[in-house]
Amino acid sequence: ISKAEVVKRVGSGIEEYLRTHNHRAFLNQFPVRAFPVKGNPFVEDLESRFPSNALRITGSADAKWTPEDLYKQFRRYGRIMDITGSGNDFRVIYRFTQAAAAARNCLHRAEIGGHPAVIDFTDSTLVSFMQDQLKNNWRLFLPAIAALVFGLGYFIFDPMRIKFVSNHLGGGVGARYAKAYQEDDDSFFLSRLANRSVSHVVSNVASLYSWTRQTWFQKRPRTSSLWAFRQNE
């Protein structure tokens, strides 16, 4: 048995094992997959290059590829959204960046139709649009982004603020005084406090405090706190 046959069998076994056992890496939504490397991967750590879901495939001057040729080679790595270009210059757009990274690592410098293909990441449509707007229309684009961020923050945090204020002035006050006046069975002020809105609760706090001093503490001996008074009972 030849070396190439052994490598092919081992690779097929690894692919089948990962496909049937569905292993997942930490913080990764996709299952782990393995593909044979057909080309010569370009391993780099350039700081200005970032992975994207779009690949640019270029070949020699006499390369005459068709979208069908590229589809047969690139489809196995993930779902493809679009293939554009002609001749020896094409652009393959995947749905996910992980698929594009796998295709680049496995097919870079591999022969497609008898011609080696040079594969590199290219900016996606959204990234290209953002960069173009920042470069050409930054005086209008940056204020729009700032307004969008502040608007989202307002719609997210303002309801939370209203909820906290309502609980503090409405639910918190009502729950505390409902427990304190449970023995007196006097629900007049509690019902008013629960049925009024937040704006009315603020105005009722002063009258509730005045009523408490006139009714509660005249009947009971004064203590430093309601808790101490209930303990003494």
The pair phi, psi for residue 15, each rounded to 5°, is: -60, -45
Return per-residue pLDDT of the chain as tens, 233 residues: 788 889 889 988 998 998 888 888 877 778 888 898 999 988 887 776 778 889 999 999 999 999 999 999 999 999 999 999 999 999 999 988 889 999 999 999 999 989 999 999 987 556 666 666 666 777 777 788 888 888 888 888 888 877 777 766 655 544 555 455 444 444 555 555 555 555 565 566 666 666 666 665 555 444 444 444 444 44
Euclidean distance between CA atoms 66 and 83, whole angstroms: 10
pLDDT at residue 225, as a whole number: 47
Quickly count: other Cβ atoms within 10 Å of residue 126's Cβ: 10
- Edge-to-edge strand ranges of the sheet holding 80-86: 80-86, 89-94, 54-58, 118-122
Closest Cα to residue 62, out of 88, 83, 80, 99?
Answer: 88
Closest Cα to residue 130, out of 147, 115, 150, 144?
Answer: 144
pLDDT at residue 223, as a whole number: 45
pLDDT at residue 211, as a whole number: 65
